[in-house]
């Protein structure tokens, strides 16, 4: 799964990288501890143009009566996304890219304490998560919401977790966003083992209130 991540790239650099028109209301960065229900950056295509916008991380199906009207859907499993009622329409017509500098996963020590790890790209400065999005309207207000697509972890990543986010290379973005025809389903696989590396970080990130660049610093032995 993916339950927490970081993003440090400036807005203008992201807009240039994704060739996307930036919204005027984007979440503050850097943010080293992005949590579920936070506003996140996302790239989607509207009226034939890529746009960099803010979305609520936590997909809200149209039948939810309130934001807490059902399970918190921060991830969508690649294996079942086309069948699940919450996601099946979005995976065909409303796909997005969610940029991240890196993300966190946890293991446990023999005493059951949670040990955080930071996973980052080995090439380039950014990961592009595959995502799906949905507009949810209540009381005349539209909330644009999203979930990150996950898949079975590759052998290297499985050392710390059995799932990992689907990450897309630049030459795959157009297909995922629907700009290059059909076939996006073929992209929902784990990245190569050499695409990412990971290391232990300070347990202070276990708190969703923690902040600051030291959260992604390697833990000293």
- For tokens 């890529």, what's the residue? 50
* DSSP code of residue 124: S
Which of 124, 199, 212 lies closest to 159, judged by CA?
A: 199
Catalytic residue among 2, 91, 96, 146: 2
Catalytic residue among 91, 96, 105, 146: 105
47, two tokens: 């009226």
CB 174 within 8 A of CB 180: yes
CB 145 within 8 A of CB 134: yes
C-alpha 192/C-alpha 198 separation (Å) is: 14
C-alpha 1/C-alpha 3 separation (Å) is: 6
C-alpha 181/C-alpha 178 separation (Å) is: 6
Residue 2 annotated in active site? yes
Residue 35 annotated in active site? no
C-alpha 176/C-alpha 132 separation (Å) is: 10
Q: Which residues are known to be catalytic?
A: 2, 105
């Amino acid at each position: 799964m993916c339950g927490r991540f970081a993003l440090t790239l400036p807005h203008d650099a992201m807009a240039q990288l994704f060739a996307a028109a930036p919204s005027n209301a984007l979440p503050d960065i850097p943010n080293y501890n992005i949590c579920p229900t936070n506003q996140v950056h996302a790239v989607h295509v509207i009226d034939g143009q890529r746009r960099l916008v803010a979305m609520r991380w936590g997909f809200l199906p149209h039948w939810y009566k309130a934001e807490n009207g059902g399970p918190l859907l921060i991830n969508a499993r690649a294996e079942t996304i086309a069948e699940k009622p919450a996601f099946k329409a979005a995976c065909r017509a409303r796909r997005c890219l969610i940029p991240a500098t890196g993300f966190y996963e946890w293991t446990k020590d023999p005493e059951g304490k949670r040990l955080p790890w930071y996973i980052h790209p080995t090439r380039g400065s950014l990961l592009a998560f595959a995502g799906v999005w949905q507009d949810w309207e209540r009381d005349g207000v539209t909330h644009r919401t999203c979930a990150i697509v996950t898949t079975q972890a590759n052998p290297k990543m499985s050392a710390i977790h059995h799932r990992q986010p689907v990450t897309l290379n630049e030459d795959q973005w157009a297909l995922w966003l629907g700009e290059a025809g059909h076939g996006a389903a073929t992209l929902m696989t784990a990245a190569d083992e050499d695409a990412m590396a990971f290391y232990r970080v300070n347990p202070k990130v276990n708190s969703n209130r923690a902040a600051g660049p030291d959260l992604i610093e390697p833990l000293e032995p």
